[in-house]
Structure 1
Amino acid sequence: MFGFLIALIAGGVTPMLEGPVARPIAGMLSDTIELAEGELRTLAFMVAMIIAGVLCSVFSTGTPLSLAIGGMLGYFGMRLLRWGQRALENRKG
């Protein structure tokens, strides 16, 4: 469960890692690998999930499936929350 929470947080902080983490990495890779602007968010997500994997390894918690699901829910969490709110509003009205 703790591993799931770590991955959930990692997915949620992905947009915050895009500027300070993904851009410098993309800059270092620019000589060999060309990254499009839209791929920076993907790179930030990969970095976040690597960090989550390392933390789960340090704390001996989590499974690959819980990391994948937690990361996905964290990444899309705000969109899923808005979808749920709209569904409730449509149901009431």
Structure 2
Amino acid sequence: MKKTTIQVQNLKCGGCANTIVTQLSKLENISDVTVNNDTDQVSFNHSSDEALETVKAKLSVLGYPMVGEQNSLPKKAKSYVSCAVGRMTK
């Protein structure tokens, strides 16, 4: 397993963090997901480059694209929905 930390956009609160941890933990070959709201970083262990790409794609779909990626209005809107869902499922 390889530990990776990536910086994402649109991370606002514990609800966001809860959604990210919950959704990434469901992915195959991904473990030990943590989110640092202060630094906007998501850390996780993965077994392959394919698993890493899957995480990046999932974060983007949830509304949390990596820093440097396009942060469109729909992605921002998705992050608000993910945030709300994360708050309700805590």
Same fold (TM over 0.5): no
- Higher share in helix: 1
Which protein, 1 or 2, shows the higher relative CO under an 8 Å CA cutoff with sep ≥ 6?
A: 1
* TM-score of the superposed pair, with normalisation by structure 1: 0.28
